[in-house]
Structure 1
């Protein structure tokens, strides 16, 4: 992938996280070089620059002369390399590295081209630093995880190379023909002082949430077909009367996935003035079907806001100090502060849990013989009672939703002063992004159970005329990952395999792209 150094999208980050190589354009390298030249001139002029000619944090009252410059940069990486816990996944690490390259590529950070090139070469070689997940409060950026990345570039710590196990970083660099980075000037602080871990993980969350919404929409259509739902409530007129962008989008998506715009309901005769008459069924469906455009549409709006916020952050200079080419001075401020991403991640977490609530209710309706329009209890394939069908899978769905709800507390309000009260308000943005990533993993398992049951219901209904082209394609796709449940069997592997396939953009069935026609 070739980046000009601006215009980075969450889709770009996801592709790089999944293995695509990255290169920076000539204009980006020009900006980076000019920025480094400005820094070099400021150093020759003996200007006061935080973290370059001073100590760090509350120790910024210590002036550090040029003779100590390299030691100052090395010590920054050393003292910040204090992360703990399980490491970030390889995808999260690649996304973090990509987000940092995007920010530094804007050319206002003063990093040396050689230092940035070391980061880029390691990313493209699949030499991924081992980055402990815990240790950042998302205030002065993601100091701790980025320090572990910078340390690996210096030959410190550990690197996983080519999907292998962790090896000493120095050995991997030597094998790749790379000399350990010797940071100078503003190299170290430019590498670590930014929001790139929370932003990279949030970019992955953004794409996962968008796909989850599309899956939820398609599965809702399958439920409506299996339960002979009344699609009058999905009519686009409702979106025109209540024109939230997400709701209008969902009316369009539902119409495409259901093959045709829904018609008004068919009357069952005139209302008599002198008698009571029992209809064969209520004239309205339960909310899980009737309110699908409103529920899923609100989620769509939250995802769109998250996309906008994260995209802006990906294309921002997020370190301190900054060296803009429009102002001949190193400016000291707080662009490293991750509040935007923190709030967006928390909002996305709420939307993800909302999708899970909807999926669990759809599952419960299909499982219940009193509510599933004469389908077998728990969608058993044969001999109900001897076989229990999806009974166990429904319990798992309930447990997944409960686990998600226990993690619903927002991270962005959990500020704890630290750093000698220099960081007296902090964002916890990376904790929020990591939490949302975990919630999405749980959601996809719920959606996998939902999809397996929706396809089972359509097959048990055995009425092909009820199915749209999209749901027919969905049935083929699901059956490629899980066979029809004719008698009881363990479903754990089916659920995990289906969930993994649903998460991956490269394995999606064609029907989920139909909605691109109207986005």
Structure 2
């Protein structure tokens, strides 16, 4: 079967169909899920296809115990929401025994009301993996047979068509999770590396799997929860970690190229305002810039100049980048809790043999956290764009205008800076918090919602823009160093310069800038700038008996 089975799928973008991005699985590599210990980093790795999934024995026991409660309720004909009643406003409608399975199937079909482009392969894998992890806690009442069918689909990479829009984050991410379930039922569209896109039943059969047959409550168990918000949030926070620590390296490179002073990063300055992130960023800057460990010829060349202090985007890097680091740490901690939380309604408490209706499905926690993260991470781009302005502006840098010789016939980095400015401006709009909005739904039963799906999607856009703005600064800073030769910077910064020059040659005359920006962006996405600089930063820490920062790993 071709990747595009027929014209129905011809509107897919390359991101959604390219198999080259999908990494093959080692059949011996498994990540065990227990519903309690999944990290954002592990979820991202699952999305990349680095592991298959198994449940721990304890998790299987918890799942089976909760299902026994549901079976007992059915035998005793007790009325329980979502088991033998309608949903939302229709909760007072009692459903007869012979209609319970139809009830669950109809719930999934009617809830498949999403629109927009489908999630990428990686994001769909993350969504499925996270839903499995939440079910593994054993509070949903789902059967182990159904959970195992989901695990089998994940391990075969049979991934449903999940439109990215349609969740308000009220009773969880209902529409996306319903689309995820629909494919497992053998309906709608599905993708696998073996079959490409096709009808879900055909794709399942191609991979030796059978469609899921829902039991009582299982449809509701598969769609109640914040897994769309939280799985995308995991990607956001992991990319934020990567870009934040590399922003410190790039800022150091710019400060060196602008011949700034390191005085503002003295440990005594930050000891009297000891926010953890601020202290850490100042330490990172000291480890990269001129010191007895790594001397800089550039720094030595202007040691006797009369400059007392630098502009804020140079002098206040620890204060601004620092709070971004602290914001990321806070959101990462909150998301860890969310990834390992039971979000069903009703919840099944097997030890007491009862169910309790609650509101753990509400998406306010991850929605608020991701709005906060977007606002925080954006400041890296805001600072970066201003530093790029200083690099290209000869009245501020004492470097050639727009970092190119023969200005006039060459425009150099003029428009690259404009691109950075455009992205920063877009971010200012995207950083408006979505979680302050609420629209009543489900006939006023769901009368307060989080809008967390949009919070997650726009946070991803903000982080990508930050990466691109920093990629432009990285190119500009490396170009600026060319005009300071033959003087050398510190060893770690010279290694970063060498890395950039391995993918982008110096700007000696005008050429297309977009490929250079993309190449630098990929270095940041892959964490290469951090990989090159970190051994030297660790060496500096060891010299002074300092431990690595928790976000460094």
CA contact (8 A) 2:245 2:530 kept: no
Task: Pick from 50, 53, 56 the counterpart of residue 20 of structure 1.
Answer: 50
1:50 to partner: Cα distance: 1.2
Report the equivalent of 1:282.
Answer: 307
Aligned pairs (5 A) from 1:464-483: 464-465=487-488, 467-483=489-505
1:250 to partner: Cα distance: 1.3
Aligned-partner Cα distance in 1 for 2:288–2:67: 52
Task: Pick from 365, 368, 375 the counterpart of residue 393 of structure 2.
Answer: 368
Aligned-partner Cα distance in 2 for 1:163–1:96: 20
Report the equivalent of 2:526.
Answer: 504
The verdict on how the C-alpha distance between 1:237 and 1:327 changes in structure 2, with shifts beyond 3 A counting, is farther
The verdict on how the C-alpha distance between 1:502 and 1:458 changes in structure 2, with shifts beyond 3 A counting, is same
Q: Secondary structure at the match of 1:133?
A: strand
CA contact (8 A) 1:215 1:512 kept: no
1:416 to partner: Cα distance: 0.5
1:177 to partner: Cα distance: 1.0
Report the equivalent of 2:69.
Answer: 38
Task: Pick from 279, 301, 308 the counterpart of residue 248 of structure 1.
Answer: 279
Aligned-partner Cα distance in 1 for 2:44–2:204: 25
Task: Pick from 403, 408, 416 the counterpart of residue 379 of structure 1.
Answer: 403
1:251 to partner: Cα distance: 1.9
Report the equivalent of 1:118.
Answer: 149
1:126 to partner: Cα distance: 2.0
1:97 to partner: Cα distance: 1.4
Aligned-partner Cα distance in 2 for 1:134–1:230: 48
Q: CA RMSD in A?
A: 2.2
CA contact (8 A) 2:499 2:529 kept: no
CA contact (8 A) 2:121 2:159 kept: yes
1:4 to partner: Cα distance: 4.1
Q: Secondary structure at the match of 2:402?
A: helix
The verdict on how the C-alpha distance between 1:280 and 1:255 changes in structure 2, with shifts beyond 3 A counting, is closer
Once structures 1 and 2 are overlaid, which stretch shifts more, 489-498 or 412-421?
A: 489-498
Aligned-partner Cα distance in 1 for 2:530–2:45: 15
Task: Pick from 452, 455, 461 the counterpart of residue 438 of structure 1.
Answer: 461
Once structures 1 and 2 are overlaid, which stretch shifts more, 471-480 or 67-76?
A: 471-480
* Residue correspondences, number: 505
Given the alignment of the two structures, is residue 157 of structure 1 paired with residue 188 of structure 2, yes or no? yes
The verdict on how the C-alpha distance between 1:489 and 1:506 changes in structure 2, with shifts beyond 3 A counting, is closer
Aligned-partner Cα distance in 2 for 1:459–1:170: 59
1:168-215 Cα deviation digits (max 9, x unpaired): 111100101111101112221111110000000000000000111011
Given the alignment of the two structures, is residue 11 of structure 1 paired with residue 3 of structure 2, yes or no? no
Q: Give ranges in structure 2 of 5+ residues lacking alignment.
A: 1-29, 539-546
Aligned-partner Cα distance in 2 for 1:151–1:196: 16
Given the alignment of the two structures, is residue 77 of structure 1 paired with residue 101 of structure 2, yes or no? no
Once structures 1 and 2 are overlaid, which stretch shifts more, 66-75 or 124-133?
A: 124-133
Aligned pairs (5 A) from 1:176-215: 176-215=207-246
Report the equivalent of 2:509.
Answer: 487
Aligned-partner Cα distance in 1 for 2:83–2:523: 47
Aligned-partner Cα distance in 2 for 1:199–1:50: 25
Aligned pairs (5 A) from 1:301-450: 301-372=326-397, 374-380=398-404, 382-450=405-473
Once structures 1 and 2 are overlaid, which stretch shifts more, 501-510 or 329-338?
A: 501-510
Q: Secondary structure at the match of 2:190?
A: strand
Report the equivalent of 2:7.
Answer: none
Report the equivalent of 2:121.
Answer: 90
1:116-140 Cα deviation digits (max 9, x unpaired): 2222222222222111111100010
The verdict on how the C-alpha distance between 1:65 and 1:216 changes in structure 2, with shifts beyond 3 A counting, is same
The verdict on how the C-alpha distance between 1:17 and 1:257 changes in structure 2, with shifts beyond 3 A counting, is farther
Aligned-partner Cα distance in 1 for 2:511–2:181: 49
Report the equivalent of 1:275.
Answer: none
CA contact (8 A) 1:470 1:511 kept: yes
CA contact (8 A) 2:270 2:282 kept: yes
1:472 to partner: Cα distance: 1.8
Aligned-partner Cα distance in 1 for 2:534–2:207: 41
The verdict on how the C-alpha distance between 1:506 and 1:336 changes in structure 2, with shifts beyond 3 A counting, is farther
Aligned-partner Cα distance in 1 for 2:114–2:460: 19
Report the equivalent of 1:272.
Answer: none
1:33-83 Cα deviation digits (max 9, x unpaired): 222222222222222221111100110001112211110110110000010
Q: Secondary structure at the match of 1:412?
A: helix
1:460 to partner: Cα distance: 2.4
TM-score when normalising by structure 2 = 0.87
1:333-364 Cα deviation digits (max 9, x unpaired): 00000111010010011012211101111111
CA contact (8 A) 1:214 1:512 kept: no
1:368-418 Cα deviation digits (max 9, x unpaired): 00111x2111111x3222211111111111111112112222100110001
The verdict on how the C-alpha distance between 1:257 and 1:107 changes in structure 2, with shifts beyond 3 A counting, is farther
Given the alignment of the two structures, is residue 236 of structure 1 paired with residue 267 of structure 2, yes or no? yes
